[in-house]
Structure 1
Amino acid sequence: MAGGIDRNWYDARATFYGDAAGGGTMQGACGYGDLFKQGYGLATTALSTTLFNHGLTCGACFQIICVNDPQWCIKGATPISVTATNFCPPNYSKTTDTWCNPPQKHFNLSYKMFTSIAQDKAGVIPVKYRRVPCVKSGGVRFELKGNPYFLMVLVYNVANAGDVSHVSIRGSKTDWLTMTHNSGQVWHINQNLVGQSLSLLVTTSDGRFLKFSFVAPSDWKFGQTYESKQNF
């Protein structure tokens, strides 16, 4: 799937998981953890293998509408906007209802989002979707995890394209170092940067990039989140 925002509509299907309060939708494969705390709430979706792109589509935003199913689509429903926060794994043991198996384009929505466009009794619905800009409040945020010799950075609250394709990091005593994609929107590097202020260079799927200079001070701690003053 081409990176960045795409105004064209495409065909897919959708189901739902979790309950009305969001139970079962937290701690997804993208690494965001508590989606309420991180600002994503219930406006979320899990993606099938084809759309997930090994986790690199995490953070992308989609507009979705129920189509061609007058029995179950809610007439006149406003299209929903959701952020990709999880993975809908394939089930190769099944021969029917293989919604998340390649090459299917499928959205496993939160219950709240699904029932905004269709009756929950439907189970599965045909939809149309398109990539839309992510609207975020505040700057890009970086959660630092790991240990002194294995630094992991979760990049989130990314506006516009939303999904990150490349991350580099620089300590106050190093040159720019390329980080490796770990999973979801978690990036890692085998480098001891403890005691150094950290700068990050982030590129989104549409090719735009921003430099976040000294976003974490020299006394940064594992488990802490640092918010920049910039966003895409």
Structure 2
Amino acid sequence: MCYSQDSFVSSRATYYGSPECLGTPTGACGYKEFGSILNGGEVSGVSYKLFKDGVGCGACYQVRCKYPPHCSADGARVVVTDHGEGDHTDFILSNRAYNKLAIPGQAEILFSYGVVDIEYRRIPCQYPGYNLMFKVHEHSRYPNYLALIAIYQAGVSEITAVELWQEDCKEWRCMRRAYGAVWDLPNPPEGAINLRFQVSGSKWIELKSLIPSDWKTGATYNTAIQLD
């Protein structure tokens, strides 16, 4: 599904609670604790049509409500970290993001509604000072099982495939989308690993020796590039 950065789509939004008003560390995208603090905790779970089996993880949206005079003009700018649907909603916002829908002093009114009419549009993600990185997911087990997740993914491009180079076979091996934004592969190649990924279903970007031979669970590896 394509979204113009100029046009808004009408929908509904609600919120989920957390003690710190941040995102959830158990989101369906697999970001773990990073997903609770990403974008200052202004994150959201989205409906199936926006989640897109995990392809929509990491996408950014501008969401604003439609209850004048309570709603702010800009609303909230959120990053997708989870999948979830409420009462005909496309967004389940963190408390911090839901609070941004209101003008100062009016948030309590919006919270009392529980669900609000909104409009949203896809916008480019921005991470000033950060390149795209691949993190070795917490589920990885060296050296027999490697799972990766992309973080600080800017722009509006989507990663639709990830492959690792198997030197002894002279072929690219496809990683499986395990769930959300997590890609995995049992018995990964030995030595430093060349990785390539497909952007929005067409362009391939190759990264040589991105993952070192002694990769570690939880480590992040800088691609030195950023997406558009």
Measured against the shorter chain, the TM-score band is: 0.7 to 0.9
Alpha-carbon spacing, 1:37–1:169, altered in 2? closer, same or farther (3 Å): farther
Alpha-carbon spacing, 1:206–1:177, altered in 2? closer, same or farther (3 Å): closer
Match of 2:133 in 1: 141
Q: In the alignment, which of 171, 174, 179 is matched to residue 175 of structure 2? A: 179
Residue 104 of structure 2 is aligned to residue 120 of structure 1: no
Residue 71 of structure 2 is aligned to residue 87 of structure 1: no
Match of 1:229 in 2: 224
- In 2, distance between residues paired with 1:64 and 1:5? 14
More helix by share: 2
Per-residue Cα deviation, 1:56-89 (whole angstroms, up to 9, x for no partner): 110111111112x237x42x4323211100111x
- In 1, distance between residues paired with 2:4 and 2:159? 13
Report SS of the residue matched to 1:54.
helix
Alpha carbon RMSD of aligned pairs, Å? 2.5
Contact persistence 1:164–1:202 (CA under 8 A)? yes
Report SS of the residue matched to 1:108.
strand
Match of 2:65 in 1: 66
Report SS of the residue matched to 2:49.
helix
Structure 2 gap segments, 5+ residues each: 103-109
Contact persistence 1:14–1:127 (CA under 8 A)? yes
Per-residue Cα deviation, 1:127-167 (whole angstroms, up to 9, x for no partner): 11111111123221112242333321111211112532111
Paired residue type of 1:107: F
**1:20-59 alignment, distance < 5 Å:** 21-22=20-21, 25-35=24-34, 39-59=38-58
Count matched residues: 215
Q: Which has the higher contact order (CA 8 A, sep 6+)?
A: 1
Contact persistence 1:58–1:85 (CA under 8 A)? yes
Per-residue Cα deviation, 1:153-198 (whole angstroms, up to 9, x for no partner): 111211112532111122555532111111111011233324x111
Give the superposition deviation at 1:37: 8.0
Give percent identity, aligned residues only. 27
Paired residue type of 2:188: N
Paired residue type of 1:33: K
Paired residue type of 2:45: A
Q: TM-score, normalised by structure 2?
A: 0.82
Report SS of the residue matched to 1:210.
strand
Structure 1 gap segments, 5+ residues each: 91-97
Q: In the alignment, which of 129, 138, 142 is matched to residue 120 of structure 2? A: 129
Give the superposition deviation at 1:38: 6.7
